[in-house]
Every structure is written in structure tokens, then in C-alpha cells.
Chain A
Amino acid sequence: MSAKSPRAMSTGLFRRVLRKPLGVVSGVVLILIVGGSLAARWIAPYDPLAQDFSIVKQGPSAAHLLGTDSLGRDILSRLLFGGQESLGGVLVAVVTMLIIAIPLGILAGYVGGLADRIILRVVDVLLSIPGTIITLAVLAIFNNSMFVAMVSVGVLASGAFIRVFRSAALSVRQELYIGAARVAGLGRLRIMAAHVLPQIRGVLLVQVTLFSAATLGIQTGLAFLAFGPPPPAPTWGGMVAEAASLIQSSPWLLVPSGGIIAVTTLALCLLGDALRDANQERFTLAGLERGARPVRAGAGAVLVPDAATVPDADREEALAPNPDALLSVRGLTVGFGAPGRETTAIQRVDFDIRPGEVVGLVGESGSGKTVTALALLGLLAGNGRITGGSIRLAGEELVGMSNAELRTVRGARIAMISQEPMVSLDPSFRVGYQIGEAIRAHERVGRAETQRRTRELLASVRLDPAVADRYPHEISGGMAQRIAIAMALAGRPELLIADEPTTALDVTVQADILDLLRTLQEETGMAIILVSHDWGVVADLCSRAIVMYAGEVVERAAVSEIFAAPRHPYTAALLRSNPHGARPGEPLPTIGGAVPPPHEWPVGCHFAARCPLATEACRQAPIDMAHLPGHRSSRCIRIDALAAELSEVAS
């Protein structure tokens, strides 16, 4: 995310709706229908009540665009006039609903406490009253007054909308900027007006359109049952009823009468959808970038190598997979977005993992470390896919494997644990069941055997077997991470990918989990890739480290060497900015600038813009990995200058 966004940010909700074709079309249709009804007196071709028995029940013609009814009245004119009654009724209900629901909803959500509890009780009552009956009772009592009926529809519907506005206000209340405004001393009313209402505006517009659509159905339905203005006054519902009675002789009549209701409702629903989308986009950068699509099942699981990125001859040697390695990754490139126009998230990623080795994959946000980890399992989110390179697991190519083939790898040969242990367990199932599921994913085993192995796995992660009967919300974060580890161990994998496994945990719990991972590694001999931003965690567990920056591997080295003598200016700068070991009172060394987003990656070294040692040569062409003594390598052509600088500082 960069402040230097090329396009100015527009937050206008309406402008965003106007960018959506469906939003524009439905808006125009609604304006035409509402405008036509309002202007019926001037634009209607005929008097809606004028009868002409010479032209009864005619189809559409030049004189009567939508035909005539059983009394020879012009249908178009009747629709235009009838709209006043139907749409007016909708307006009455909407206004009534808003007058009740907005203040009560915001009061309940934002102020909370006793007011909230009382309002919620009232809402419960409102929701349990059968609205139709009350509306019918009102019609019975008030002599078919549609106005009063629509007011009562508004009152009865307000219960549901109080809930909607309440939850909108409630979610805003928990935002920290409300806290900041309170600390600044702003009063409640002011905060509600300044921060809560604008956030609710989008929700409000969406709800108003959807409620209008529903109310139109009720209003015309009542008129259909003859509870509206008595004939010959034109009403949309009444015209449907007329058409229904003549269905055998002139079915055409059903089309314009039902059609106008359907079109209006459809337009309202579509406008509501467009408003909702526009509102969600409004305050996110994602809204500026088109094409962001929701995640779908299995999407991105099929790995497709891209023939266009065949390596050139120079890199061929470096690209040969290492036959001794458990995992050999070469030239791995991942793109997000539509094929041909994708944004590259990582490029030319090479590394090897030997059997039983613990390797740290280190980097800051935007470095591509998590994308790399997910790509190994073919689990890239959304529209991400592998566009080039190779991933070999014990010599077997994973890129290009089908979902079914990958399933034999996932869990059984490469397993994964992720950052947020609490959300990586399904809240609806007992944890023991979930471990059992992981066991049964790879072996056909009976119930007793599954239970025995579940107990065994729980014991191996140092948990009491009784934990199996608990639900995820009944256990702590540390326990949840142990369960996740147990699930990962169920398939006896050769490689465990641990994506920030301790970031969400307290330090003492973190130390226990790291100890557990170390012990399990020693017991099982599996290799571990530890994805982390925390140098301390890497120093604790790993023997080697791979450093990533802006989608590329910039340095690979043994952990003991990388801390003592980093060979890439980025690694060096990052290590220096750690407050551990810094002298209190002195400013921490900083890097300056920011990690460039993928579309701003330079041709040359990705770090050049922030590097004190950068020269013209760094910026001109892509930098290749330089192989250094002691199985280490660095994507830098200024290694000598860096080494000289470091030894100077040391002396």
C-alpha cells in the first residue's frame, strides 16, 4: 500500500454506483418509473378512467402502447396514475420505518447498556407479531385506508431494521478511532453524528432499497386483494386482479400489470446490490483496483507452469534441482490476477531443503514469504497461480499436479500449521474429531484405531487426552496451536511448513511451542520451513535462513553466519533496526523508504532505492544470486563493499 497512489481516491458512494452498469440501468429505470408516475397528469396519453367499449381488451398498438383493458381504458395511462398510489404507499412505509429504526438502532448499538436491552426486547416483540394480520386488522378497522396500512407496515418492519442499524453501530463502536475521539473529549452525540452515522449511511441506503422492494410487493398485494382504493381508481395490484379474472380470454393483461411491479422491484433490488458493493469498496484500496475476486473452492489449486518463462541458458545450471534435497525449488514465480495480466507476487525463488533441516524463511510484509509457503502446497488464495518454475519433492515435480494428486502430498508428505491457531480449527467440531479427520485423510483406519492414534498425537504435543472432547472455543491459543501441530503430524509428513506459528501467542507460550517444535523435529526427523518475521524465533529454531525482500530471495546462509556477517545490505539493515542490542537513548538505525509494491518493482535490484551502497549498475539489470563460500549466496553485486563496511564498524 503506497501513499503515492496514481489515481486520486474518490469516496463518493454515488459516483461509485455510477461506475456499475447495473447500478446505472436500475437507477435510470427507477427514475423513469417514479418520474412517470409523478408526471402522469401531463404525460399520460389518456384519462385513466375514460372508457371506450369499442376497443376493449386490445393488445399493444400505436394508439395504445400497452393495450386496453376490459372497459377499453388505456393501460399505460392507468399504470402511470396507479404508480402514484403504489409508490406513495412505499414511501409512507419507508419513512415510517426510518423514523423509528434509525434513532433506536443507533441508540441501542452505540449507547448500549439498559437502552440496548429494552430496545432489543421491543424488537423481539415486533418480530414475533405476524405483520400481515396486523395490517389486515388495520385495514378492517380503518376502512381500507392504505395510508394507515402502510404506516403499520413501516412500524412492524422497523424491528428487523433496528437490528440491522444496531449491529452496524455496534461494529463502529468497537473501532479504535471512536476511542481516540472519546479520549479527545468529544461528546456522545457528536461522535454519533460524525463517525457512526456516515458509516451507517451505506447500510441504510442498501436496506432502504431492499425494504422498498419488499413493501411494493405487500402494497400491490393488498391492492390485489381489493384492500386498496375502490375501483375504478387505477392501482397496480388492482390491475393484476383484473387481469387474473380475465386470464383465459386475454392473458396479455397480466404482462403490463405484473411487469411494472416486477421491473420496479427488480430495479430496486439491483440498485441495492450496486449500493452494497459500492459501499464496501468505498474505503478500501481494493476498490481502486478492479478484478479482486472472492476466493472459490479449489481455485488456484491446479498449478500451471507457464511456457513463456522458460529459463535462459545462463541460469540453466542454477536451475537444476538438487538431487540430495528433500525439497528443491527453482525459479518459482507466482502471479495474481487474470492470465496474461497478472501481478507478480514472487519471482525466481530458488532454495533447497535437506531432509531433517530446519530453515527460516524470513521477511517483512510484502516480501512474499507466505505466498512462497502456500505455493509449495498449491494452496494459493483466490486467483493466484504458479506461472513458472519448479517444485520438486524428493525428485517428484509438484508444479502441474492435479488437485487429486496434490491431495496425496498435502498432509502426508508436506504439512502446514498457520499463524492464527484459534481460527485454524473449525469451531463447529470437537478438536479430537478434527485430529481424527486428519488421520483418516491418509489411512483407512477403524474407529478404535483412530481414537488410539488421536490420543497418541495429543500425547506427542503434550496435551491431556481429555482435550479431544473440547471445542476450539474452550481451549487457549497455545493449546489450539498444539492441536494444529497434532493434525499436521497425523500424516507423518517429511516436511512441515510453519507459517508464523507463534506470532499470535504470548512470549512464554511461544517459547513452549518453539521447544515443542524442536523436540518433535528431533523425534520424527522431519524438515521444517519456519516462515517468520521475527529474527529471534529464527535464531532459536533454525539452522539456515532464507531472506526474502519484495518478492525475491535476497540471501541464503547458515543462521550462525547471517547474524554475524550478513552478505546482503537489506539483511544487514534489517538486523540493525532490531531494538535488541541497540543502545538505549540512541536512535535505532532505520532503512528509510518503503518496500515497493509489485507494480513498482524496478528492473534492477529491488532494494536499490533504499540501499546506501547502490550504484548505477545495481539499477540497470536484474541481479543474479552470487554464490559465496560456505554454501551461502546473496543477490547483490556490492558484497565486497558491504563486507568492508561491516568490518569497519566492528573494529
Chain B
Amino acid sequence: MSAPDTLQVPDILEVEDLAVDHGVGRKRKRAVNGVSFSIPTGSTLGLVGESGSGKTTTGMAILGMLPIASGRVLFEGRDITAIPRGEQRALGARRQVIFQDPYSSLDPTKTIGYTLAEPCRIAARADRMSAAQIAERQAMLLQRVGLSPDAARRYPAQFSGGQRQRIAIARALMLSPRLIVCDEPVSALDLSVQAEVLNLLVELQRDLGLSLLFISHDLSVVRHISHSIVVLRNGAVVEQGPAGRVYDEPADQYTRSLLAAAPVPDPAEQQARRDERHRRRMEDDSR
């Protein structure tokens, strides 16, 4: 997206020929195979696919939560598998995650304050924040995501799904990360709340220069928030490119069928899409 800068600022994340397996021993199955893409610093890449496409698996592998079978994942130019154990923690600070389920992603036994402070505890002793600094940052971030600073003293059960997702975003921001993997962050939310969380993510990206890997099954959401889109099917990339191009002029057959299947809130357009889908199916059948 920022062509003149590419020489100065390297891509924050490069995924090369990534393969990830599920299961062990005889049950081992390749879940992701030969996936390559890169995220330019400060941009959003949308990873789209249906269940079983390997989109979440790819995200987890990038976060180091699943072992990589082959291929490379370069984070800020360094291969994450080659980084020594000691430095892995520092990596955690620069690479964060927001999950889909806002109910399971916060420990119900801990106050919001504890949850936010937790990532700070792993920093190397030298640059560990003091308690006062942590409290200050907590208050600042809670306000930044649209909550009152006294939320820190409360427990997750006292918040709605949308508010929890804001808390999860604040937790991800505590250590000033460079990349945030968002795994279906708005799928469990109502439409009006979804809009608020999407706006918040876009604002934060603009203000903090964040890079986002946005995993979702919802093409219209991905289209709205992403600069580029990667479409996955059965663990492999079927199409990738700038968001507008992929969404408006999909080149791949599967992307087209995915787009045609997603219903749109416009009866006339939806009718047209349905007819198009049926026409294509008939063509397929007659072939």
C-alpha cells in the first residue's frame, strides 16, 4: 500500500511456504500447506476462509502456538523458529492476539487490572514497568478503548461481550506490540457492537502504526478493514491481492462462489446474486 516506503520499512511479517500439521503419529494430518503471504508494516491483511480452511491454524502458527512443519515465518525480518528460547518472550511483547470468544478469553477469576498487567510481568527485569507505570498505562488504555479506568477493579462477568472484546484489545496493547493477530474478533458480536469494535481497531492502527492479521469468515467485514486479502481453502491459498480487487473482481472460482454465497442486506442485489449462483451451478452441472 505504501510503495515508496517498501525499501526503508521491511514487511513486518513474511510467511513463506508455511505448512502446519494437526495431530500426532498416525493421526497426523496436514492442516495448512504451502501458504505464503506478507504483511507490510502498518497495514491489515485479511485471512478469509470457511471452517477447515486452516485460517486459524495459520494464525496460531504465526503466534508460535503451533509447531511449524515446514516453511518460514519471518517476523520483523527474523525467522521465528530460529529465535532462541530466551528471546521468544521478548517476541511475545511485540506480537499479540485477540480471540473470537470474548467470554472465554478473559480469566473469570481475575480482575481486569490483573489481566491487563499480566503481560508486563514477563518483561526482562531491567525494563520491567513499575506498579505505578502499569496502573497508569492500564488507565490510559482502558480509556483509549472506551472504558472507564475503574474497570480495572472489576471482574469479566460484569462486562458485555463488546466490552470484553475492548478489554481484550487493551490487553493486547499493554506491551506496545507491532503485530496483532485478530482471530474472528467480531464474529460473536452484534452488528452495532461489531461496528464499534471494527472502528476501534482501525483507529488504533492509524494512531499506533499497528499491523493486523485479521482472520474472519465474513467477507464484508474483511473487505471493510483490510488492505489486502488472502483466501484460504483446505489449507492452501486460492487467491490473494489488494482487498478491493479480490472483493470486487475475484479471479478465482472459489472466491467467487464464496462471495456469491454470502447474503447481502439488499433484496434486489441479493436476488441478483442468487440468480448468478444458480446460473453458475447449472453451468457446472452441464459441464
Contacts and interface: CB of A to CB of B under 8 A. Distances in A.
Contacts of A507: 50, 217, 219, 258, 261-262
Interface of B: 50-51, 63-65, 88-93, 95-97, 99-101, 104-110, 115, 118-119, 121-122, 147, 151, 154-163, 168, 171, 175, 190-196, 198-199, 202-203, 217, 219-221, 223-225, 243-244, 257-258, 260-268, 270, 274, 277
A196 B163 CA distance: 24
Given A180-B97, A180-B99, A588-B198, A580 B109 contact: no
B96 A539 contact: no
B152 to A, nearest CB: 12
9 contacts: A185-B91, A507-B50, A507-B258, A511-B261, A536-B263, A577-B194, A579-B220, A580-B220, A580-B264
B266 A3 contact: no
Contacts of A132: none
A45 B221 CA distance: 79
Interface string A505-539: 01110110011000000000000000001111111
Contact of A588 (B89, B159, B199, B268): B199
B99 A559 contact: no
Contacts of A475: none
Among B156, B198, B260, B266, max chain A CB count under 10 A is at: B266
Nearest to B109: A198
Interface in A527-565: 533-540, 559-560, 563
B157 A285 contact: yes
A582 interface: yes
Given A183-B92, A283-B155, A364-B191, A539 B107 contact: no
A199 B100 CA distance: 22
Nearest to A588: B195
Contact of A184 (B92, B100, B157, B225): B92
Contacts, number: 196
A559 B115 CA distance: 45
A2 B161 CA distance: 10
A143 B262 CA distance: 77
Contact of A176 (B50, B89, B105): B105
A-B pairs, top 8 by smallest CB distance, nearest first, are A185-B92, A536-B263, A535-B265, A283-B108, A185-B89, A577-B195, A184-B119, A176-B105
A589 interface: yes
Given A3-B163, A539-B265, 10 more contacts: A2-B158, A182-B65, A187-B122, A283-B109, A535-B191, A538-B265, A575-B265, A584-B243, A590-B196, A594-B162
Interface in A155-206: 175-177, 179-187, 190, 194-195, 198-199
A2 B147 CA distance: 12
A199 B158 CA distance: 18
Given A3-B160, A285-B158, A578-B191, A180 B168 contact: yes
A227 B51 CA distance: 63
Contacts of A2: 158, 160
Contacts of B101: 176
Interface residues of A, number: 63
Contact of B261 (A175, A283, A508, A533): A508
A97 to B, nearest CB: 24
A24 to B, nearest CB: 24
A515 B274 CA distance: 9
A232 interface: no
A511 B256 CA distance: 14
Among B92, B93, B107, B110, max chain A CB count under 10 A is at: B107
Contact of A506 (B51, B95, B118): B51
A365 interface: yes
Contacts of A536: 262-265, 270
Prevailing SS type, chain B contact patch: helix
B266 A183 contact: no
A115 interface: no
A91 B153 CA distance: 37
Given A3-B154, A590-B199, A365 B190 contact: yes
B224 A579 contact: yes
A563 B265 CA distance: 7
A56 interface: no
B122 A184 contact: yes
A581 interface: yes
A5 B194 contact: no
A510 B158 contact: no
Nearest to A573: B192
Contacts of B108: 282-284
A539 B175 CA distance: 44
A590 to B, nearest CB: 5
Contacts of B277: 511
A183 B158 contact: no
Contacts of A594: 160, 162
A186 B264 contact: no
A179 B101 CA distance: 12
B135 to A, nearest CB: 18
A402 interface: no
Interface string A258-273: 0000000000000000
A507 B121 CA distance: 42
Nearest to B90: A185
A514 B191 contact: no
A579 B157 CA distance: 29
B115 A177 contact: yes
Among A182, A185, A284, A584, max chain B CB count under 10 A is at: A185
Interface in A280-311: 282-285
A2 B148 CA distance: 13
Nearest to B53: A506
Contacts of A231: none
A513 to B, nearest CB: 11
B195 A590 contact: yes
A5 B158 contact: yes
A519 to B, nearest CB: 11
Given A183-B63, A537-B263, A11 B105 contact: no
A127 interface: no
A191 to B, nearest CB: 10
Contacts of A515: 274
B270 A533 contact: no
B244 A584 contact: yes
A184 B91 CA distance: 8
A511 B65 contact: no
Given A537-B263, A540-B263, A579-B223, A185 B194 contact: no
A9 interface: yes
Contacts of B168: 180
Contacts of B88: 185
Contacts of B50: 506-508
A456 to B, nearest CB: 24
A446 interface: no
Among A284, A510, A584, max chain B CB count under 10 A is at: A584
A364 B192 contact: yes
A65 interface: no
Contact of A179 (B99, B109, B162, B270): B99
Nearest to A283: B108
Contacts of B263: 510-511, 514, 534, 536-537, 539-540
B95 A183 contact: yes
A1 B193 CA distance: 14
Contacts of A179: 65, 97, 99, 105
Among B92, B195, B217, B264, max chain A CB count under 10 A is at: B195
Contacts of A581: 264-266
A574 interface: yes
A183 B257 CA distance: 35
Contacts of A195: 107, 109-110
A539 B264 contact: yes
Contacts of B155: 9, 11, 283
A21 interface: no
A591 interface: yes
Contact of B224 (A282, A534, A584): A584
A76 B238 CA distance: 83
